[in-house]
């Protein structure tokens, strides 16, 4: 049995809403697991069930070999960083960090030692006497993490902790969280709706949609091999291009082009997915793109345009290429990196 | 700096308001420093007279009442105990019942809240006979318990605390839970410190409410040692009206001035907290 084990966990709210469907998942000790999905997909509910803040309707949650279903949150030895940090507004930073330790009946000197160590690690030693209202967003974020670290819990739970920060700080804190987790080595679960955060932080990633884990794997596995239409569309930025097509006899025919010798026996209507970064310009390529708009990011250009059938399409090319609005580009798919999904079920077929 | 006409008008209005509040108190105070004969013959005074010490000494230490057993000083103590008891218990009970109503999601929370709320429509004066019956059956007449207990439930304060607790984000409770706080420590370590300005405000209101109670102590107490200031104001010098003695007007003014001191002290003392809470917005 692994460190954290979820077995057929289901959450049904009293009003009948099914937030999480029979989810099974294991997290190894020291692993950084990220739950990613659109808002309302049940990822936070799943996290809160691990924390004990939501009851489990069905299924079991085991942590470190112990069944947690009926264990009170305070007894679970988990620490959580909330989206709005939930710092204690009337206590100074020192007491914010020390409160959990005091409740555990730890003696004063040990508490002081632990708080000072955590403060040093997070570089908040100078603010220990301040109230949370006198701190900046980044400092508050650090205090919230300090409160989790200081207790030395079995597992860290992060509930979208970076979404209240501005873009620059978010990237900085993302790095710090990752470094910190590697340094401390505590098993962590991080919930986010931001796929870039998910990709950068995760050892393993669970893509969740409608209360179901659509795919579980390392970020690269998920990026390279999305198993469903949803995962393919959710992971990757800019989003994967989707085209309608028909697969018969190992030949895919889409609007305006055909791909032969496809490694699939599926027959019927399909959706073809091509990532904007898996395209390159050639003469007599498969896809003809009429350019509407170019976004110059410096390192890359994002080229938006339309295919023959007026379908929107995006192509990503290196920033040193100049592409004019209104130009006609001929594109090829690099290394046959395309994905074919059953149109009715959304499952990958190639 | 130029002063605009509008500012002058505003200041005049404010000064008039201040005078309206202060002048009656000043007249009472000035009048309390003359002897009663002067007041009776010449009317109320604006300047300080020479009888100040004598009048106040007499009011505080002279025994009065039907059987001449109770002094004004004793009545001040009684009123202070009663008001303090009422205010303290009201705040404690309201805060705790609001805590239960907001955080324990039992089925009857809403009906119970409204039940508490409609007691606003039934003030003590309306239920005074049943209340008296209960207190006297419990043998609590002529006791501080009897004076305080029937007045300690407060719908108003419960309502205010409830509204305040509802504004506290759920994450705070969840975070405290994960930090090992139980129901009691969440109340003591979080809700009480967060609502301390509210507690101070409620305490002031309830203290003044308790201090100014008239009808309840009048009915409740037959022994003079439990008389309160507000009752005493009516009763203490009544013997002066009987027979040929002159009404003791000056002493009455002294008594009125003294009776204002405890509530003023409470307000002055708690105001510090109040303002502190307003400056440091902690939520």
Q: Kindly determine whether residue B169 and residue A86, on different chains, have CB atoms separated by under 8 Å.
A: yes
Residues A211 and A272 placed together within one structural domain of the fold? no
Contacts of B18 (CB under 8 A, 6+ apart): none
**Spatial contact of A190 and A158, defined as CB atoms under 8 Å apart:** yes
Nearest alpha carbon to residue A86 among A53, A114, A123: A53
Statement to judge: residues A104 and A184 lie in one domain? yes
Q: How far A102 CA lies from chain B's nearest CA (Å)?
A: 9
* B172 touching A (Cβ < 8 Å): yes
Of A211, A230, A249, which residue constitutes the final position of a domain? A230
Q: Of A178, A195, A230, which marks where a domain is finished? A: A230
Give the total residue count for chain A: 350
pLDDT of chain B along its 283 residues, tens only? 677 888 999 999 999 999 999 999 999 889 888 888 888 788 888 888 888 888 888 877 777 656 666 778 888 888 989 999 999 999 999 999 999 999 887 888 888 888 888 888 888 888 888 889 999 999 888 889 988 988 888 888 898 899 889 989 989 999 999 998 889 999 999 999 998 888 888 888 899 889 988 888 888 888 878 888 888 777 666 554 555 566 777 888 888 888 888 888 888 888 877 666 556 544 4
Q: What is the mean pLDDT of chain A?
A: 89
Q: Is residue B179 helix, strand or coil? A: coil
Q: Which residue of B has its CA nearest to A52?
A: B178
- Helices B72-103 + B196-211 axis angle, to 10: 140
> What is the number of structural domains in chain A?
2
Domain holding A30: CATH number? 3.40.50.300
Instruction: Please check whether residues A86 and A214 belong to one and the same domain.
Output: yes
Residue A348 within any structural domain of the chain: no
In-domain check, residue A43: yes
Facing B178 at nearest CB: one of A74, A83, A133: A74
A320 in the same domain as A198: no
Let me know whether A246 and A317 are in one domain: yes
Residues whose CB is less than 8 angstroms from the CB of residue A342 and which lie 6 or more positions away in sequence, other chains included: A266, A268, A270, A271, A348, A349
The reply to whether A142 falls in a domain is yes
Instruction: With CB atoms and an 8 Å threshold, state whether B171 touches A82.
Output: yes
Name the 3-class secondary structure at B209. Answer: helix
- Cα separation, A186 vs A181, in Å, equals 6
Same domain, A85 and A209: yes
Domain with A251 in it: what CATH number? 2.40.50.140
Q: Give me the domains of chain B, ranges plus CATH numbers.
A: 5-279 (1.10.3720.10)
Per-residue model confidence (pLDDT) at position A219:
94
Residues A62 and A202 in one domain: yes
Coil, helix or strand at residue B63: strand
Give the rounded distance of the alpha carbon of B134 from its chain centre. 24
Check CB contact of A104 with chain B, cutoff 8 Å. Answer: yes
**A350 within a domain of the structure (yes/no):** no
Q: What is the pLDDT of residue B283?
A: 43
Residues A294, A201 share a domain:
no
Q: B172–A88: do the CB atoms touch at under 8 Å?
A: yes
A309: tokens are 């059938």
Nearest-by-Cβ selection for B181 from A74, A90, A133: A74
Domain extent at residue A303? 241-342
**Is A137 within 8 Å of chain B by CB?**
no
Cβ contacts of B175 on chain A, cutoff 8 Å = 80, 82, 86, 88, 147
Strands A212-217 and A204-209, bridge-based pairing: antiparallel
Q: Which of B59, B80, B65 is nearest to B225 (CA)?
A: B65
Please indicate, yes or no, whether residues A196 and A246 belong to a single structural domain of this protein: no
Q: Does B181 touch chain A (CB under 8 A)?
A: yes
pLDDT tens digit string along A24-74?
Answer: 999 999 999 999 999 888 899 999 999 999 989 999 999 988 899 989 888
Let me know whether A158 and A118 are in one domain: yes
Instruction: Please check the confidence at residue A165 and state whether its pLDDT lies above 90.
Output: no
Of A206, A230, A254, the residue that ends a domain is A230
Structure tokens at B98: 């609001």
- HEC sequence for chain A: CCCEEEEEEEEECCCCCEEEEEEEEEECCCCEEEEECCCCCCHHHHHHHHHCCCCCCEEEEEECCEECCCCCHHHCCEEEECCCCCCCCCCCHHHHHHHHHHHCCCCHHHHHHHHHHHHHHHCCHHHCCCCHHHCCHHHHHHHHHHHHHCCCCCEEEEECCCCCCCHHHHHHHHHHHHHHHHHHCCEEEEEECCHHHHHHHCCEEEEEECCEEEEEECHHHHHHCCCEHHHHHHCCCCCCEEEEEEEECCEEEECCEEECCCCCCCCEEEEEEECHHHEEECCCCCEEEEEEEEEECCCEEEEEEECCCCCEEEEEEECCCCCCCCCEEEEEEHHHCCEEEECCCCEECC
* B171 in contact with A, Cβ within 8 Å: yes
Q: Are residues A253 and A287 in the same domain?
A: yes
A142 and A250, same structural domain?
Answer: no
Contact call for residues B127 and B135 (beta carbons, < 8 A) = no
**A163 vs B: CB within 8 A:** no
- Nearest neighbour of B174 by CB, restricted to A53, A99, A104: A53
């Amino acid at each position: 049995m692994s460190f954290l084990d979820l077995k057929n966990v289901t959450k049904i709210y009293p009003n009948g809403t099914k937030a999480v469907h029979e989810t099974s998942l294991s997290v190894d000790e020291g692993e950084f697991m990220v739950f990613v999905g659109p808002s309302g997909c049940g990822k936070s509910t799943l996290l809160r069930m691990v924390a004990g803040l939501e009851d489990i309707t069905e299924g079991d949650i085991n942590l470190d070999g112990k069944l947690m279903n009926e264990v009170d949150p305070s007894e679970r030895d988990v620490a959580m960083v909330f989206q709005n940090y939930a710092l204690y507004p009337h206590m100074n930073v020192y007491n914010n960090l020390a409160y959990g330790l005091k409740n555990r009946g730890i003696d004063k000197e040990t508490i002081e030692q632990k708080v000072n160590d955590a403060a040093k690690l997070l570089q908040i030693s100078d603010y220990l006497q301040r109230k949370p209202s006198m701190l900046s967003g980044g400092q508050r974020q650090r205090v919230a993490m300090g409160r989790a670290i200081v207790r030395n819990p079995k597992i860290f739970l992060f509930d979208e902790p970076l979404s209240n920060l501005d873009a620059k700080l978010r990237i900085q804190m993302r790095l710090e969280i990752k470094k910190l987790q590697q340094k401390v080595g505590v098993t962590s679960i991080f919930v986010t709706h931001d796929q870039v955060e998910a990709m950068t932080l995760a050892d393993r990633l669970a893509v969740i949609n409608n209360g179901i884990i659509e795919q579980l794997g390392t970020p690269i596995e998920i990026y390279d091999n999305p198993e469903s239409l949803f995962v393919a569309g959710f992971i990757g930025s800019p989003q994967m291009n989707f085209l309608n097509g028909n697969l018969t006899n190992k030949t895919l025919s889409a609007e305006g082009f055909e791909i032969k010798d496809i490694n699939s026996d599926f027959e019927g209507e399909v959706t073809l997915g091509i990532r904007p970064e898996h395209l390159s310009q050639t003469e007599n390529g498969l896809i003809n793109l009429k350019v509407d708009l170019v976004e110059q990011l410096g390192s890359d250009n994002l080229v938006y345009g339309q295919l023959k059938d007026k379908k929107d399409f995006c192509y990503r090319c290196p920033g040193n290429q100049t592409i004019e609005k209104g130009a006609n580009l001929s594109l090829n798919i690099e290394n046959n990196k395309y994905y074919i999904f059953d149109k009715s079920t959304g499952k990958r077929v190639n | 700096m130029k002063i605009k006409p509008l500012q002058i008008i505003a200041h005049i209005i404010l000064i008039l308001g201040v005078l309206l509040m202060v002048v009656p108190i000043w007249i009472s105070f000035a009048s309390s420093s003359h002897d009663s004969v002067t007041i009776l013959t010449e009317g109320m005074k604006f300047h300080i007279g020479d009888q100040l010490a004598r009048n106040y000494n007499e009011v505080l230490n002279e025994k009065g009442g039907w059987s001449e057993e109770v002094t004004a000083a004793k009545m001040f103590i009684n009123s202070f105990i009663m008001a303090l008891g009422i205010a303290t218990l009201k705040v404690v009970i309201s805060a705790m019942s609001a805590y239960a109503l907001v955080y324990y999601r039992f089925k009857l929370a809403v009906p119970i809240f409204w039940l508490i709320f409609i007691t606003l429509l039934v003030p003590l004066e309306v239920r005074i006979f049943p209340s008296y019956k209960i207190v006297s059956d419990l043998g609590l007449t002529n006791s501080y318990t009897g004076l305080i207990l029937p007045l300690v439930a407060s719908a108003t304060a419960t309502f205010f605390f409830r509204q305040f607790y509802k504004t506290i984000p759920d994450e705070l409770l969840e975070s405290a839970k994960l930090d090992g706080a139980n129901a009691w420590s969440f109340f003591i370590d979080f809700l009480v410190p967060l609502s301390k300005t509210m507690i101070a405000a409620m305490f002031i209101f309830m203290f003044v409410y308790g201090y100014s109670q008239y009808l309840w102590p009048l009915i409740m107490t037959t022994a003079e040692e439990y008389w309160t200031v507000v009752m005493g104001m009516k009763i203490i010098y009544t013997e002066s009206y009987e027979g040929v003695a002159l009404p003791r007007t000056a002493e009455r003014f002294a008594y009125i001035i003294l009776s204002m001191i405890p509530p003023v002290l409470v307000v002055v003392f708690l105001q510090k907290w109040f303002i502190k809470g307003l400056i440091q917005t902690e939520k």
